[in-house]
Structure 1
Amino acid sequence: MKYLLLILVLALVFFVLGLKRARPSRPEPGPKREAPKAPAAGAQDIVACAECGLHVPLADALPGLGGHFCSAAHRHAFEARSRS
């Protein structure tokens, strides 16, 4: 009976030592969070034409008194209507 108790105590010691080896002493750092990405280099702001509502890139839009326009004809028509 005492040998059985000795075997159980030794098994318990080896079990506890095995758990300590399997578990790291310090927690590993988690994955780092990446900073939000900036818009792609090709991304542009889009504006609507004040005359017809067509969406055009801001770089291609023509500025006018009433906002942005898709063409010179629409800018002229809008400004002519607003003057009268």
Structure 2
Amino acid sequence: MGLFRILFWVALIVVAIWLWRRLKRPAPAKRGPGPAAMVRCASCGVHVPQDHALKAGDRWYCSQRHLEQDKANGGH
């Protein structure tokens, strides 16, 4: 009966330490949305996120200036 008591208390202490360490560990960082789709500016070649780019026909531009500049040069 004495050996059973010792094993019980050792097991209880091991479980308590395991739980304490697990609760003390910082939570994993939450991940945001995945990487944004990138497109290449038809004027300068810079890659920009698609949601920030401007589209004219099938061509993408990094800024309004480049879109207008490309239209003036007959690019579109």
TM-score by length of 2: 0.51
The alignment partner of 2:52 has SS state of: coil
Name the one with the larger helix percent.
2
State the match for 1:69 in structure 2.
61
**Quick one: which amino acid aligns to residue 51 of structure 1?**
S
**Quick one: which amino acid aligns to residue 56 of structure 1?**
V
**Would you say the 8 A contact 1:66–1:78 is kept in 2?**
no
Segments of structure 1 that go 5 or more residues without pairing to the other structure are 1-39
Show the 5 A alignment for 1:27-46: 41-46=33-38
Q: Deviations over 1:16-52 (max 9, x none)?
A: xxxxxxxxxxxxxxxxxxxxxxxx6231100010000
Tell me which stretches of 4 or more aligned residues in structure 1 moved more than 4 Å. none
Query: Matches of 2:58 and 2:37 in 1, distance apart?
Result: 18
**Quick one: which amino acid aligns to residue 45 of structure 2?**
G
RMSD of aligned alpha carbons: 1.8
State the match for 2:21 in structure 1.
none
State the match for 2:47 in structure 1.
55
Q: What is the number of residues matched between the two proteins?
A: 44
